[in-house]
Structure 1
Amino acid sequence: MRERAEGNTAAGNDQGFVLVAVLLVALVLILVAVTFTYGVRSRVKSIASAVDSAEAEALADAGVQLAVMDLQARRSGSSQTSRFAAGSAAVVCAAPSQAGVIAIEVRDEAGKIDLNTNNEALLLALVVGLGTPIEKARPIVSRILDFRDGDSQARPDGAEAEDYAGRAPPKNRPFDAVEEIEQVLAIPPKLVLEMRPFLTVNSGAEGFDPLQAPPGLRDVIVRGAALTSETGFASSSAAMGQWEGIPTSFVSRSEGRAVSVLATGAARGGGRFTRWAILEAPQAGRGDFTIRRWMQAPSSVAADYNGEKPPC
């Protein structure tokens, strides 16, 4: 009897061990299955997100091409109306096959201040109008001019190669991109960020067109012109005449030389992508627009993307 009882106990222990082992194997298999499923789901989501982003980018690029075609037709005379007129509100339309929505905005670069302008008083008014004290603004403008001029002689309060110790020296050539202003010696980063929306290198004008100016620029120039006139750094605004509070020497009417196009593609999956392009008009009205800049913009076109939209 004792031997039979011991045998039963041993058999029970073996069965318990086997049961525990089976449970552990089952648990491992469950964990593997859960991990695999999670990995597959994450991969599917990642692929779907990539596809959605690619669709949004394609829509944005298509939006720029739509604007180019419209501008080209208007300039060649084959169309008397412009769907994407510079300075008008953003146009929002539905892409074919319900692929998504495109918002397109066109701005005339003549509404900004060309960083290569010889209008020193205008640059000074911009810097002062953005809140920089005049005693600090004057050297900043001098350093900007020294950075791009063709000589190595520093202006009063300016800077040339010997002042750029440990840094890349001035270009001594015109600015090719607005971002190059960051290379100018001792310009506060905050001021650079505030200036950039108001600057261009594509208008070729000595002033700017207030009718095409981006939001806020006219107020900045009016404020800066008043302050610089009071301190003698610019001619009296009364002597120069005024254009809505802006000295006439600061005003250059647009010749349609270059436009910037912002196009945001909103894909069906919720992804968005904004393309920013700068287009230069053909000389003498002949030929195609030349693309000078082609890059991703940090923010979407301000528009309503919801609801039914007219076809693009």
Structure 2
Amino acid sequence: MNPTAPSDHLTASGAARPGGPGALMGRTVSRVGYGAMQLERLDRDAAVALLRRAVELGIDHVDTAHFYGNGFVNEVIGAALRPADGVLVVSKVGAEPNPAGPVPLRLAQRPKQLRTAVEDNLRGLGVEQVPLVNLRRADHGPGLRAQGDQVVDLDDQLAVLTELRAEGKIGAIGLSSVTLEGLRRALPAGIACVQNAYSLVARGDEDTLRLCLAEGIAWVPYFPLGGAFAGLPKIADEPAVAAAAQALGVSPAQIGLAWLLHHSQNTLLIPGTADPAHLVANAEAGSVVLDGETLAALDAVPSRTGDIAL
């Protein structure tokens, strides 16, 4: 294996990459990125300022979607990030805004809806190509479940995404909330990353992670600290996490993020926050070193995975 080039540890703006360099769709990115969903909690100026702070911290991998804040988050990203920043913006399709509903999004799984969602992302971000688009499936993991005409075969969805890639509107295809069998079926289409719910306390998709590692696919876990829905475990509730945090003088959340980075070399993180202090803490988690004894104690924490359907 070739040693990592020194320049790989720095972003285009010259900042050190939190967590060191990782790989996504053939590009070098910071292993600690940023999930932009919570930007919708801020006003425009504060959201722009948080994104600029992320760039200063060396974060050059941002995850978004048109349905975050009904387009607000994408518009802010388009305004805040500059080409010279070298930030890789990743979006997703498979849902659409539903501001008046009890849940602010609804599934949009049909091929025509996927194409519309890509066009919405292009327009909102102000770009000619979205570098990477994740297809958010609805048959695995926590969240909404497809019913009626929203039950769509994966092959039909991949067909339209492949067309969009050939047209140059997207650069690469990823998958989210995908089963192991679904990933196997999708491999011939060329998959750049997988985003599944996964954390120290919810490791039910370990086989999917291992397939990604074998195939050179980035593993980008969402809910990296667990507990986003009632009934899901939280890493902060684990005595082993609390003990490691106290011993190292860091927070339980930082232990949870650091464990993910240590667990598999193809892991990239996209923790979300609307708080500048938490943004810094998340970036600093990339520098937390876990020794063998600590890793063994964390690895022994039981996985209590359970799908939570809405």
TM-score relative to the length of structure 1:
0.21
More helix by share: 1
Bigger CA radius of gyration: 1
